[in-house]
Amino acid sequence: MAEIMYWEALRRAHDEEMTSDPLVICMGEDIGVAGGTYKATSGLYDKYGPERVIDTPISEGGYTGLGIGASFLGVRPIIEIMSVNFAWLAMDQIFNTAAKVRYMSGGQLEAPVVIRSPGGTAHQLGAQHSARMEKVFMGIAGLRVVTPSNPRQAYGLLKSAVRCNDPVFINEHELMYNMKGEVPDEEYFLPLEGSEVAREGADVTLFGYNISVHWCMQAAETLASKHGINCEVIDLFSLSPLDREGIKASVSKTHRAVIVEEAEPAVGVGSEVMAIINEECFFELDAPPVRISAKNVPIPFNHTLEKMAIPNAQDVVNGVLKMFGLADK
């Protein structure tokens, strides 16, 4: 195991897959000469040249459509959209073409394309640069959605996504790129379906994904040390499809569930997880499930208001204590 940063894990996955298959290319704004806004393609332009590491114009719909079209012919593009906020400009290409072409062509065409994009709230970037759009992508049939919470997952999921014949959207978080973590020295692939038990527990399950996994882990430590509550933490790294069996297994074990997300609650990941719990293991519950999520407002630029708008580890602690009737203790 080597301890590397999140961006280094992504860069390593890019490099290995481009070495393995000459049809793997990268596309996006400033990914070539500049090495990428978050350094995920650093050095690849010099190694593979401008025909495989393509600096594109500021036209998300244009270069995303170009990459998807190339994938019909066997190319395997990794498209980086610099910020998920700008993915709105490529929605038609992603949702109406990549996600649907296999079904609408009767299986004659496939779109083995990977679209990576960072999102989330990252320190006073304002409402138009702080979108949490994973719930939009996970609602589109035909599109896989994964969201790595650590460098190992970032590496393994990207490698699996490149070799998948389905279109895959990888939802990263802007605050994670300098996060360090262990990644296997040998080549490693993480399946694009499932979830991981980040922490074993018996009293309540905390469900999180990407950055909220870390809030859950911090909350679990506090709840164990100060209140004697033993939390299980489930990392929902695959948002589409969600791991119904994994969700059911954990709730059937702990009999309580708290779902933690950075996004607004309406029509979100938490809503879908609660629906699965209701359908799969309602009679296992000892208390109603709880959602911890952002306020339903555009993210303010003001730092104090920004912090008030999004949840944190203490909000998770408070939600669990309330569930156990210990909110005032």
Catalytic center residues: 60, 129
Is the four-CA dihedral 97, 100, 106, 109 of positive or negative sign? positive
Q: Is 26 helix (H, G, I), strand (E, B) or coil?
A: strand
With residue 134 as reference, give the H or E element that holds it: helix 134-138
Alpha helices in 53-144 (DSSP H): 60-72, 91, 101-104, 134-138
As beta bridge partners, residue 254 has none
Amino acid making up residue 183: V
In angstroms, rounded to a whole number, what is the distance separating the alpha carbons of residues 244 and 194? 8
In angstroms, rounded to a whole number, what is the distance separating the alpha carbons of residues 44 and 198? 33
Residue among 48, 192, 12 nearest 112 (CA): 192
In angstroms, rounded to a whole number, what is the distance separating the alpha carbons of residues 40 and 79? 12
Structure-token pair, residue 201: 């527990």
Is the four-CA dihedral 66, 119, 270, 239 of positive or negative sign? positive
Buried b (16+ CB within 10 A) or exposed e, 92-109: ebbbebbbbbbeeeeeee
In angstroms, rounded to a whole number, what is the distance separating the alpha carbons of residues 299 and 210? 19
In angstroms, rounded to a whole number, what is the distance separating the alpha carbons of residues 36 and 116? 12
